[in-house]
Amino acid sequence: AQTVTQSQPEMSVQEAETVTLSCTYDTSESDYYLFWYKQPPSRQMILVIRQEAYKQQNATENRFSVNFQKAAKSFSLKISDSQLGDAAMYFCAYRSNYQLIWGAGTKLIIKP
């Protein structure tokens, strides 16, 4: 069975600096999708970025980018120029059989 592990329960970063959130997963599948979602205090789950496993190029969305290492089964999220609005829980998710399997989440704190 697929599993997703986020080993950092909490991270903090100074506003305007860069932070990297870690995610590892376990799977025997060769083709799959990975996602990062953000859940601010409002509880609305927001899609941040997605990565197709067959693509070698790392996905990028404005200040958000991923470092996808397929062989190592690692999928980290880098947030550049951190802003106060980035404060939230960040969840890494793996899509398997049309359902999402989630990590436990990392709480990101932005220090002004």
Strands 64-69 and 60-61, sheet pairing: antiparallel
Which of 23, 68, 90, 105 forms a contact with other proteins (CB under 8 A)?
Answer: 105
**Should residue 85 be labelled a site residue for other proteins when binding is judged by CB under 8 A?**
no
42, 57, 84, 85: which one contacts other proteins (CB under 8 A)? 42
Pairing between β-strand 74-79 and β-strand 19-21 as defined by DSSP bridges: antiparallel
Tokens 């990590």 correspond to 103
| Nearest residue (CB) to other proteins, 4 versus 87 | 4
Record the tokens describing residue 104, joined without a space.
């436990």
For residue 100 the two structure tokens come to 């999402």
Q: Is 85 helix (H, G, I), strand (E, B) or coil?
A: helix
CB closer to other proteins out of 21 and 93:
93
In the three-class reduction of DSSP (H, G, I as helix; E, B as strand; rest coil), residue 23 is classed as coil
Least Cβ distance, residue 70 to other proteins (angstroms): 19
Asked whether position 32 contacts other proteins by CB under 8 A, the answer is: no
Binding site for other proteins (CB under 8 A): 33, 35, 37, 42-47, 50, 91, 93, 97-102, 104-105
